[in-house]
Amino acid sequence: MTRTLLGLLLALSLALSAVGVAQGERPVVVASMHPHYDLIRQITAGEAEVVRLLPIGASPHTFDPTPRDVARVGAADLVIFNGGVDAWLHNLVAASGTDAPLLELMAVLDLDAAAEGARPRDRGVGDDHRGVNPHVWLDPVLMAQAVPHFVDALAAVDPAREALYRANGEALVADLEALHAELTEILAPVAGAPFVPFHDAWPYFTARYGLEQVVVIEPAPGREPTPSYLAEALALIEASGARAIFNEVQLPARPAEVLAEQAGVALYTLDPEGGGTSDEETYQAFMRDNARTIAEALSR
C-alpha cells in the first residue's frame, strides 16, 4: 500500500471516528513523545489538554508503560504517535478500549526523498520501521511536513477551534522552515565531518545537514554493545579522524565514555528527544541546542 493511499485512509478514519468535543470543553490530546507533544502544544496554544506519555529523560526504546498510561490513553479524544520507536502505544490503545482516532506520523509523511539517506547503514538499528529509520522528528523539514497532518487531526475532533489550529499551524510551519535555515547555517562549517552518535537516531539529520555518520556506538538501543562490536567501532572512529563522539541523555553513557577514552576524543551529550532541560522546552530549542553542540564538537 502506498503512503499516499495510507494517508487518505487515515484521514477517512479520523473523519469517521471523531465524535467531536462537547462545546466549551477542551479536547484531550495524547502524544507519545516530547517532540510531537510540544508541536501540538504550539498548535493548540492552550486550547487543548495535551498529555505526553514518555517521561522526560526516558527512552522510547526502553520505556515500560504503566496502568496510569492506559488510563490516559482511555481518556483521549485524539492519540498522536510516531510509529516504530513507540510501538508500545498499540498495546496501550488495545488495553484502554479507546475509540479515539489515532494519527501515526510514519504513516502519513512522504519519506521518499529522505529515505535513501535515512536507511540504516552498516550497523543494525534494531528499531527500524518498515525498513526505514523511524527517527523522523530530528529533521525539521519533515516535521514542517507533519504539521498539516496534526492540524487536520485536531480540526476533526474539535471543529469549533479549526480556524485557530490552522492559523497556528501555518505560523509553526514558517517557524520550522526558519529553524531549518538556521541549522543549515550553524552546521555549514562542519559539513562532511565524521559524526559518531550513540545510536542510529540521526540519519535524517545527517542527510539533511551534510554530516558523515561513521558508526553508532550502541547498535541496539538499551542493550550493551559487545566487546567485539566496540573494538570494530573504535577502529572505524580512529580511521575516520572523528574529533568527538556523542552520548545521549536518555541512554547509559558508559559505552560512549569507554570509546571516547580509548580513541582519545572528546565526548559530548545530545538530546534527541527534547525536554532534557525543561518540561517546557520547545522543539525548536532542543533542535537548536543539538545543532550547536554538534558544531562545537566537530570543529575542535
Spell out a b/e string for 133-155, using b for 16 or more CB atoms within 10 Å of the CB, else e: bbbbbbbbbbbbbbbebbbbbbb
Give domain status of residue 123, yes or no.
no
β-strand 28-31 against 78-81: which pairing, if any? Answer: parallel
How far, in Å, CA of 265 to CA of 183, rounded? 24
- Please name the helix (run of DSSP H) or strand (run of DSSP E) that holds residue 93, with its range, or none: helix 88-96
Give domain status of residue 266, yes or no.
yes
Residue 74 belongs to domain with CATH number: 3.40.50.1980
Q: What is the pLDDT of residue 190?
A: 97
- Same domain? 77 vs 103: yes
Number of domains comprising the chain: 2
- Same domain? 168 vs 197: no
Q: Mind giving me the DSSP string for 228-284?
A: HHHHHHHHHHHHHT-SEEEEETTS-SHHHHHHHHHHT-EEEEE-SSS-SS-TT--HH
Q: What is the pLDDT of residue 238?
A: 96
> To which residue does cell 514542517 refer?
144
Q: What is the pLDDT of residue 277?
A: 67
- Same domain? 139 vs 176: yes
Q: What are 215's strand-pairing partners? A: none
Give domain status of residue 18, yes or no.
no
- Please name the helix (run of DSSP H) or strand (run of DSSP E) that holds residue 51, with its range, or none: strand 49-52
- Same domain? 260 vs 137: no
Tell me the whole-structure pTM to 2 decimals: 0.87
Give domain status of residue 279, yes or no.
yes
Query: What phi, psi does 121 have (nearest 5°)?
Result: -95, -140
- Same domain? 227 vs 253: yes
Q: What are 79's strand-pairing partners? A: 30, 102
Q: What is the pLDDT of residue 252?
A: 80
Give domain status of residue 293, yes or no.
yes
How far, in Å, CA of 51 to CA of 280, rounded? 13
Domain that residue 210 falls in: 189-299
- Same domain? 164 vs 194: no
> To which residue does cell 527500524 refer?
128
Collapse the DSSP code of 248 into the 3-class scheme (helix H, G, I; strand E, B; otherwise coil) and give the result: strand
- Same domain? 106 vs 159: yes
- Same domain? 213 vs 85: no
Q: What are 176's strand-pairing partners? A: none
Give domain status of residue 15, yes or no.
no
How far, in Å, CA of 154 to CA of 134, rounded? 23
Q: For residues 141 and 126, is the Cβ–Cβ distance under 8 A?
A: no
Q: CB-based contacts of 2: which residues, under 8 Å, 6+ apart?
A: none
Give domain status of residue 85, yes or no.
yes
- Same domain? 55 vs 142: yes
Q: What is the pLDDT of residue 113?
A: 62
How far, in Å, CA of 283 to CA of 138, rounded? 10
- Same domain? 277 vs 223: yes
Q: For residues 20 and 77, is the Cβ–Cβ distance under 8 A?
A: no
How far, in Å, CA of 52 to CA of 181, rounded? 28
pLDDT mean values, one per 10 residues, the chain (300 residues) = 42 45 82 97 97 89 92 97 93 95 94 60 38 90 97 97 98 98 98 95 95 92 86 96 94 90 96 83 96 96
Q: For residues 196 and 241, is the Cβ–Cβ distance under 8 A?
A: no
CA nearest to 147, candidates 221, 250, 38 = 38
| Burial category of 29 from C-beta neighbours within 10 Å (exposed 0-12, middle 13-18, buried 19 and up) | buried
- Same domain? 155 vs 102: yes
Q: What is the pLDDT of residue 223?
A: 81
Q: What is the pLDDT of residue 116?
A: 58
- Same domain? 154 vs 103: yes
